[in-house]
Amino acid sequence: MNRRTRVFALAVLCLLAAAPAAAPAAAKSVLQVPPLFQSTPKPPPPSLVFAYGAWRVDASASAHAQPPARTVRAIRQQIDIVEHLGLKPEVLAFMRSQPVLADGWIGPGDAPPAEYAAGRGVVLHVRRLDPKKPILLYGLLKAYQAQRLPGGFDNADVARLRGEAAARRVWPKTARMLQNNQEFFALSAATYLYGAITREPYTRADLKKTEPLCYQWLANLFDAGRPRG
């Protein structure tokens, strides 16, 4: 074997000896290359205790009723209804001051979808909320009657107007609005302010036609005597 052949053979041996050590390093380099497409992690669900503008909401009791995002959206829709009613500043300020709570209770079909609990605030039953119905307003009106009208739920004007409505027999005796002063005020005022509900007295036009004295009384209370059209 001449000198040139020996040098070539030695170079080949050196390359073969170095190859096993280089291979793991190359493999490791390939494994460390990040994938071209990475899945985006899902954002955490929204908190059920939240502020929405000037409103304060605690819907933690509804955590297992439905997805939190759905609950938050439904409550915000109810708040938006109240905010867009054109209420007098002092009335709106009062309503904003009321704690808004929510739970997952359903109850029987004729059960109210919202309640006013003295010392706690307005309680919404989130699985009964409907973006086309003024459910939060209904509960807030009960709070308004209890805290702002003379005599609260025993207000003399409300009792008189309910008695007159019952005597005229325009509505069935079983109509919720005739059952007590709370329901009469909350349903009549919700109809007057929002324009239409799914229970008696149904629409603002119906209220004006069947209960003109109540209609004007509500105009005096909420609109400085100028009735809504």
Position 7 scores a pLDDT of 46
Map tokens 């005796």 to a residue: 173
184 and 213 belong to one structural domain: yes
Position 105 scores a pLDDT of 94
Quick one: DSSP state of residue 104? -
Residue pLDDT, tens place only, 125-177:
999 999 999 999 999 999 999 999 999 999 999 999 999 999 999 999 999 99
> Quick check: 216 and 204 in contact, CB under 8 A?
no
Quick one: DSSP state of residue 114? E
Position 11 scores a pLDDT of 52
94 and 153 belong to one structural domain: no
Position 209 scores a pLDDT of 97
162 and 113 belong to one structural domain: no
Work out the mean pLDDT of the chain and round it to a whole number.
89
Residue pLDDT, tens place only, 13-41:
554 455 554 444 444 445 565 666 677 88
Is residue 115's pLDDT more than 90?
yes
> Quick check: 201 and 211 in contact, CB under 8 A?
yes
Position 38 scores a pLDDT of 73
110 and 165 belong to one structural domain: no
Query: Which token pair is 134?
Result: 């003024």
Residue pLDDT, tens place only, 44-80:
999 999 999 999 999 999 999 999 999 999 999 999 9
Instruction: Using DSSP bridges, classify how beta strands 49-52 and 55-61 pair: parallel, antiparallel or unpaired.
Output: antiparallel
Number of folded domains that form the chain:
2
> Is the residue at 81 inside a domain?
yes
Position 107 scores a pLDDT of 86
172 and 228 belong to one structural domain: yes
Q: Which residues contact 126 (CB under 8 A, 6 or more apart)?
A: 59, 62, 65, 66, 71, 74, 75, 102, 103, 104
> Is the residue at 12 inside a domain?
no
Residue pLDDT, tens place only, 70-106:
999 999 999 999 999 999 999 999 999 999 999 999 9
88 and 126 belong to one structural domain: yes
> Is the residue at 199 inside a domain?
yes
> Is the residue at 92 inside a domain?
yes
Of the residues 82, 102, 130, the one at which a domain ends: 130
Position 117 scores a pLDDT of 96
Q: What is the dihedral of CA 79, 190, 147, 126, to 10 degrees?
A: -40
> Is the residue at 23 inside a domain?
no
b/e burial code for range 91-119 (CB count within 10 A of at least 16 → b)? bbebbbebebbbbbbeeeeeebbbbbeee
User: Is the pTM higher than 0.85?
Assistant: no
100 and 176 belong to one structural domain: no
Distance CA 48, CA 22 (A): 56
> Is the residue at 2 inside a domain?
no
83 and 157 belong to one structural domain: no
> Is the residue at 223 inside a domain?
yes
In percent, how much of the chain has pLDDT > 70?
84
Position 17 scores a pLDDT of 53
> Is the residue at 36 inside a domain?
no
Residue 201, burial from CB neighbour count under 10 angstroms (0-12, 13-18, 19+): buried
- For 224, the domain range is 149-229
